[in-house]
Amino acid sequence: MRPRSMGVLLVVVSVLGGQGCAAVGLTLFGVGAGVAAGTGVSYTLDSVAYKTFTTPVDTLERGTRQTLRRMDMKVTEDEGTPAGRRLVALAADRTIEIELDRLTAQTSRMRVNAKQGWFFKDRATAGEII
């Protein structure tokens, strides 16, 4: 896409985002801010956080356990999976589900799902754990 076309597209998106629906404008701003800040954490539509690390899954597990201890979250479940490990921790009224998957010998992926009750997800806590 040429720079002029990119500028026109940006203006159109900005105008549409500001047409009485603050949610759309704020969403566009939030996505842009996250990309610009280089957060490195990806989220699904249902607020499950993902991140890939260049470290073996065993090292990632040790770091995850240390983070949970530092955040005063108690691990209630710990089981091996075909791809790595699955941990469940508790924090107040939240259940934290963590999956650590081995992608290669030196690359691992972390998936964090912070549930608050039946319907709500805590994206901020999931991101902080990562």
Question: Chunked in runs of 10, what are the mean pLDDT values of the chain (130 residues)?
Answer: 62 59 47 50 76 94 95 94 95 93 96 87 87
Q: Kindly state whether residues 47 and 110 are assigned to the same domain.
A: yes
Q: Kindly state whether residues 58 and 96 are assigned to the same domain.
A: yes
pTM confidence score: 0.66
What's the Cα-to-Cα distance from 24 to each of 20, 43, 55, 63, rounded to whole Å? 9, 18, 37, 37
Q: Kindly state whether residues 103 and 68 are assigned to the same domain.
A: yes
Q: Kindly state whether residues 24 and 79 are assigned to the same domain.
A: no
Half-sphere exposure (Cβ direction) of 122: Cα atoms closer than 13 Å: 17
Residues spanned by the domain of 24: 1-39
pLDDT at residue 122 in the model: 85
Number of compact structural domains in the chain: 2
Element (H, E) at 123: helix 123-129
pLDDT at residue 124 in the model: 86
Cα angle 80, 51, 119; round to 5: 80
Helix (H, G, I), strand (E, B) or coil at 101: strand
pLDDT at residue 81 in the model: 93
